[in-house]
Structure 1
């Protein structure tokens, strides 16, 4: 997890601050889809990063508990600092590791934001989704969002240009944009939306419904079978 070490973690929130509107909309969709959960709901945050999901949800649902799982210690440390400063650390469990290393607690819901696209192999990505499903109660919702695109589709180049235009707002250089293009199929998975939906469905979830798109980020809501 060198890409998310102490130096990267310290600047992560600031680095993408100009794209905060995208995160805000993702969180708004999650809020709407999770609003029916019980007052004492326990939410799994898979690949929690610096804890942006929890920072949005914790003030709105003051009796919820959150388990933040992330293998990058430095990112979780930032998440703890935010939680401590903003007064909800006592409702958070911080797990430095993968979801698969968590006990099979029956969570009431889960989020997975911008995580699964780091798993290039279909088998590994399906196993990741399954590790979440195994820790959810039946019918519990999962909101999944990831970079996604079919490089062989005739519209992919336009999608990429739109996305790079957004990344330019976040300070990406032209050279960085070229490197980003090359990252698809190496750093980022190249599964197209239908393949992602198939993998989610193969991991004990119902048919996912795409309910979000911003550039190359797509988001789905689904439920544990």
Structure 2
């Protein structure tokens, strides 16, 4: 016969199930450089692998300008006014968990005394994670999120057996990359936590909808652990 019973929930981290377009409004990032050349990046933060535009101005007319740095590369022939655009994708951050990082790109023309400019911007993963290891599903642990829409609440929809058991509000995503760190139970439901497989959908709507975009999904299992 068992002497004690407890529930166990493993650590879970899931990347995006659906990525639907950019999550940031277009904002120009100031840039500075030698001479009068400038570079601006189309958004203050972008998701890994999503598109960005570097807008160039003040370079030597009718020359090739090369963009480089932090996993970014590209080039274009600027016009008679020394202006042009280079399209590139936000580079990988080398991790799948929730995070953001500031990157720098430099643009330089092909003259003997090149004019150059640089710009800074951020790149984020679209991800969430919960820590704490194996413990009771109602034990509080740290939750982390990134790549969400800034200024809007973050909700977790906890489902079991095809039914939504909780719509939990974690807090408000902040900063240009829509990040949040919160403390909450592994499964924040009232009453008994059933054993078996639970699914979790993270989005920014207060009520569960399987068609919500963008969204993050994950799953975890609750089991009974017997003490000897």
Q: Give the TM-score normalised by the residue count of structure 2.
A: 0.29
Q: Which has the higher helix share?
A: 1
Which protein is bigger by CA-based radius of gyration? 2
User: Which structure has the highest strand share of the two?
Assistant: 2
Higher relative contact order (CA 8 A, sep 6+): 2
